[in-house]
Chain A
Amino acid sequence: MSRWILDHLWLIPAVPFAVSLVILSLPNGRHKSAAVLAVAGQIAALVMSFFAFLPTLETPGFRFVQNFTWFTFGDHALRLGWLVDPLAAVMLMMITLVGLCIFVFSTGYMAGDKNFVRFFAYLSFFSGAMLGLVISNSLLLLFICWELVGLASYLLIGFWMGRPSAAAAAKKAFVTTRIGDLGFFLGLLWLYGRSGTLLFYDGGDGCLEKAGLTMLGASATFIALLIFCGAMGKSGQFPLHVWLPDAMEGPTPVSALIHAATMVAAGVFLVARAYPIFSLGAINGVTPSLMVVVWIGVITALMAALIAIAQADIKRILAYSTISQLGLMMVSLGVGGVAAGMMHLLAHGFFKALLFLGAGSVIHGCHGEQDIRKMGGLRWLMPITFSTYAIGMMTLSGVPLFFSGGWTKEEIQHVTAHWPASRLPYYILLIGVVLTALYMTRQIIYVFFGDRRVASQHAHESPRVMTMPLIALAICAILFSIVLTPAWPWLHDYLTGTAAGVELVRLIQPTLFLSLVLVGAGFALGIWMYRKAGVQDRQRPADTDPLELAQSQLFRFLENKMWIDELYARTIIAFSWMSARLSDWMDRHFWDRLVRGFGGIGQLLGIFTAGIDERGINAGVDETTVGTRGLGRLISAAHSGQIQTYLSVIAIGALALLLFYAWLA
């Protein structure tokens, strides 16, 4: 079975694609068939992924490559391929597992929507594109899937396109990520120009293998940075992160699947996949491109964590938390901890999907309200949501020992602490841990504790179809830590291709106590700051944030997302607006006139030549015809038709000639 799946890897993305097409052709009212089809497609993908995952367990460093020729131009064949290695296999498992939970959740969450069928078609389409992305063995195939994923994201963010804000958010996401993708595409072309192949692995000739890498030489840094541009766009890294919070306009399951668990992780995955290019020519594990990755990651992680503290929308808080965690992963990759970064990616996939679905459940229970200041006291009304949400929150905060996020964060701190270039990222990450615990505490206090406020007066627990995925994901978030602990670092060794060993001594490490202290500090700070936030006027929202009371300037700064959107609006957008206006003005007043001027010259020339024609040439021709006619009349007079006249003229002529010669002689 595994062998068969490996030989037919294309089926894994093809099945959800096919399902998506079938669902699209369904009539609009067939909710049940659409849901059944989509979930069945996802289960099929999960089963196939599992069988593709199995052989990677047997041999450490397993890699299966299947290349094929797409088309041939001249004597050069463009080849694409599929690939299964530990990196791809765990991504497959995570995407299909989280995807399945979210598909099931969506059948409940979207139940009342009139475009239910279309939603599942898009969701399946996304799933197929994402699965294709992770098993691509060619940067080009990866790029194609990357763009399809971007398209799916656009369609789903703008799913409620009736809302102007959703349409604008979809557009913003599409355009912002496109800026990064432009860099990615340039990097792709450059890589192709240098190495002549876009296959990752090709029996020694791939661009990630020794032969391909040596051909890159000094350009590797620039290629890596251009590829990183794409990763920055997709994974919401600092200059291009602005689209991700706005993407929360989409339905919550979409936020969970695409903008938290899978698609935004594609950037991290891309860097991990192309890691040999980033680390080419590393001195002591540091290259210029990896330096950039680290610092962008550090800036993103800190900035997003700070902004998350001052947000009021339950989903926006989670969105900034996602950006922050993605920054953390980038740091980990940049300092050399590819395995640690990927472990955090996988753990994050589970717990962030859990948190988003929990948020979805809360929003569903509060009848569409998303402002946490209007919620409160939900812990007894929505017990399952509350307990699973709490598990997700503790995993995200990185509570050690029991939660997967704790182990992966420790791993990242561990590799960051040993980065030879600078200690600063390590300290910033530690601050980030405190901040994460702080904003999650704030959110939990506002949503679940204290008294009930406006939106939570008539809240109710979500139906079973929505709580089951929550429970499943919560169990995943906890059980996943079994393969992450330093005592049995199975996933780490699996990803790096070494055999796993059990050593219980390694379980207790100094970093464990450090993170315990930091997370505890974050929780304590949060509880102390927001202790009064829960008990307020029952009918009014908690309108003044404690932080706002203490530091109103700082709060305003963070609440408005550090004014980055406004900065872009004043600079880049204003610039492009200005240049558009300028081009428009130039078009109207300069180019138009120029063109019209040339037209005028042509017109003048026409009038001039027409005059010459009328006066000069026409008159000349007329004169010639009149003359010719007169001459003709004159000559025609000689032709009387009297043959004897002709003859006598000839005779007289001959006689005259005769006389002339006689006279000459």
Chain B
Amino acid sequence: MTPTLQLFLVISAALFSIGLLAALSRRHAIFILIGIEMMLAAANLNFVAFWRFGPQTQPPIGVMIAIFSIAIAAAEAAVGLALVIAVYRHYRTTNVDHLNQLKG
């Protein structure tokens, strides 16, 4: 079975859907964060797949964007975890159902 673009896109879509499901269904803030990271990973996979199966260019643009994206995701995860710790210290919980102070 030769790898094709469609295969990668299906895997990527599946990965995104699993991440979205995790982000929507889990109540723990850290799991939601993990879900978001999975959605980002799906996007990165798309970048690389489109680059690999598209018209080849001299610099590996798709891979470079994916690397940048991963760096940003790392930073975002760091900020996210710091927020979760701060929220936990304040409210003594990480259950997002209880973190509803910012309602209108």
A→B interface (CB under 8 Å): 632, 635-644, 647-648, 651
User: What is the CB-to-nearest-CB distance from A651 to chain B, in angstroms, rounded to a whole number?
Assistant: 6
Please count the residue pairs between chain A and chain B whose beta carbons lie under 8 angstroms apart in the complex.
35
| A642 x B104 contact (CB < 8 A) | no
| A648 x B96 contact (CB < 8 A) | no
Interface positions of B from 49 to 104, Cβ below 8 Å from A: 96-97, 99-104
Best-buried of B32, B99, B103, B104 by chain A (most CB within 10 Å)? B104
Write 26 A-B pairs (CB below 8 A) sorted by A numbering: A632-B104, A635-B104, A636-B103, A636-B104, A638-B104, A639-B103, A639-B104, A640-B103, A640-B104, A641-B99, A641-B100, A641-B101, A641-B102, A641-B103, A641-B104, A642-B97, A642-B103, A643-B96, A643-B99, A644-B24, A644-B32, A644-B96, A647-B23, A648-B24, A651-B20, A651-B24
In the assembly, what is the distance between CA of A417 and CA of B97, in Å?
A: 133
User: What is the CB-to-nearest-CB distance from A657 to chain B, in angstroms, rounded to a whole number?
Assistant: 15
Contacts of A636 in B (CB 8 A): 103-104
| B104 x A644 contact (CB < 8 A) | no
| B96 x A642 contact (CB < 8 A) | yes
| A644 x B23 contact (CB < 8 A) | yes
List the 6 shortest-distance A-B pairs measured between CB atoms, nearest first. A636-B104, A641-B103, A641-B100, A639-B104, A641-B102, A643-B96
Contacts of B104 in A (CB 8 A): 632, 635-641
User: What is the CB-to-nearest-CB distance from A439 to chain B, in angstroms, rounded to a whole number?
Assistant: 115
- If over half of A's interface residues share one DSSP class (helix, strand or loop), that class is named, otherwise mixed; here it is helix
In the assembly, what is the distance between CA of A127 and CA of B99, in Å?
A: 104
- If over half of B's interface residues share one DSSP class (helix, strand or loop), that class is named, otherwise mixed; here it is loop
Q: CB-nearest residue of chain B relative to A638?
A: B104
User: What is the CB-to-nearest-CB distance from B72 to chain A, in angstroms, rounded to a whole number?
Assistant: 19
Contacts of A635 in B (CB 8 A): 104
In the assembly, what is the distance between CA of A640 and CA of B23, in Å?
A: 17
Q: CB-nearest residue of chain B relative to A639?
A: B104
B→A interface (CB under 8 Å): 20, 23-24, 32, 96-97, 99-104
Contacts A636-B103, A643-B96 known; list 11 others, CB within 8 Å.
Answer: A632-B104, A635-B104, A636-B104, A638-B104, A641-B100, A642-B97, A642-B100, A643-B32, A644-B23, A644-B97, A651-B24
In the assembly, what is the distance between CA of A637 and CA of B24, in Å?
A: 20
User: What is the CB-to-nearest-CB distance from B104 to chain A, in angstroms, rounded to a whole number?
Assistant: 3
Q: CB-nearest residue of chain A relative to B39?
A: A651
Contacts of B23 in A (CB 8 A): 644, 647
In the assembly, what is the distance between CA of A642 and CA of B102, in Å?
A: 8
Contacts of A644 in B (CB 8 A): 23-24, 32, 96-97
Contacts of B100 in A (CB 8 A): 640-642
In the assembly, what is the distance between CA of A285 and CA of B23, in Å?
A: 126
Contacts of A637 in B (CB 8 A): 104
In the assembly, what is the distance between CA of A642 and CA of B103, in Å?
A: 8
Contacts of A639 in B (CB 8 A): 102-104
Contacts of B96 in A (CB 8 A): 642-644
Contacts of B24 in A (CB 8 A): 644, 647-648, 651
User: What is the CB-to-nearest-CB distance from B7 to chain A, in angstroms, rounded to a whole number?
Assistant: 20
In the assembly, what is the distance between CA of A68 and CA of B97, in Å?
A: 100
Contacts of B32 in A (CB 8 A): 643-644
Q: CB-nearest residue of chain B relative to A651?
A: B20
In the assembly, what is the distance between CA of A642 and CA of B101, in Å?
A: 9
Q: CB-nearest residue of chain A relative to B29?
A: A643
User: What is the CB-to-nearest-CB distance from B103 to chain A, in angstroms, rounded to a whole number?
Assistant: 3
In the assembly, what is the distance between CA of A647 and CA of B31, in Å?
A: 14
In the assembly, what is the distance between CA of A423 and CA of B99, in Å?
A: 127
User: What is the CB-to-nearest-CB distance from A171 to chain B, in angstroms, rounded to a whole number?
Assistant: 87
Contacts of A638 in B (CB 8 A): 104
Q: CB-nearest residue of chain B relative to A637?
A: B104
User: What is the CB-to-nearest-CB distance from B13 to chain A, in angstroms, rounded to a whole number?
Assistant: 10
User: What is the CB-to-nearest-CB distance from A644 to chain B, in angstroms, rounded to a whole number?
Assistant: 6
Contacts of B20 in A (CB 8 A): 651
User: What is the CB-to-nearest-CB distance from B39 to chain A, in angstroms, rounded to a whole number?
Assistant: 10
Q: CB-nearest residue of chain B relative to A644?
A: B24
In the assembly, what is the distance between CA of A635 and CA of B32, in Å?
A: 26
Contacts of B103 in A (CB 8 A): 636, 639-642
In the assembly, what is the distance between CA of A644 and CA of B25, in Å?
A: 8
In the assembly, what is the distance between CA of A639 and CA of B101, in Å?
A: 10
User: What is the CB-to-nearest-CB distance from B19 to chain A, in angstroms, rounded to a whole number?
Assistant: 11
In the assembly, what is the distance between CA of A641 and CA of B103, in Å?
A: 4
Q: CB-nearest residue of chain A relative to B27?
A: A644
In the assembly, what is the distance between CA of A643 and CA of B80, in Å?
A: 14
Contacts of B102 in A (CB 8 A): 639, 641
User: What is the CB-to-nearest-CB distance from B18 to chain A, in angstroms, rounded to a whole number?
Assistant: 13
Best-buried of A638, A639, A644 by chain B (most CB within 10 Å)? A644
Contacts of A641 in B (CB 8 A): 99-104
User: What is the CB-to-nearest-CB distance from B96 to chain A, in angstroms, rounded to a whole number?
Assistant: 5
